[in-house]
Structure 1
Amino acid sequence: MAEEVKQGAFVIRKIHSAYLVSVLENVVFVNPIPGVKPIGGCAIVASTMQMVGNAKLLLHRPEDACGFLMDYYRELGWQIEIAD
């Protein structure tokens, strides 16, 4: 029987920025959502958030990685939306 892969995705928003956060097992991918804020700095922010998210998961090794990151970003003031 195949092992279930833990994955999830959600959108974080703050002011005029929005990022898609995808979690596959214990690996985080953060990407700016095109058209929300047209500045080149979004890619740098996304890359930094991805590194920090992966470090948090590596250090804490939560059972529910997606839920853990949702709580983390919520504490930082981001609005959370479940991605379709």
Structure 2
Amino acid sequence: MQFDDQLLRYFGTTDLAAIPSEALAPGAERMRVDLGMERDKGRRFALWALLFMLGAAPDLDIAFPDPADRDAARDFMDLADRADPD
């Protein structure tokens, strides 16, 4: 699963900064539907991570039934928080 491919699939562009604001909500909703249907753990995590970066990720207990996957998501959230200069 390539980041650029996911941006193109859900938002019609590979440039995150070029996504029109009106395309964010419908693209994120399509991603949430795909997240709910995806069974591969790695692909689920990638979809959730992109949704998290867009501020549209579902709660961890909904996205990840496995406690280990929830822990990995929390680690990702911590890393993303530390990387944010704000």
Q: TM-score range by the shorter chain?
A: 0.3 to 0.5
Could you say which structure has the higher strand fraction? 1
**TM-score under structure 2 length normalisation:** 0.32
Q: Structure with the greater relative contact order (CA < 8 A, sep ≥ 6): 1 or 2?
A: 1
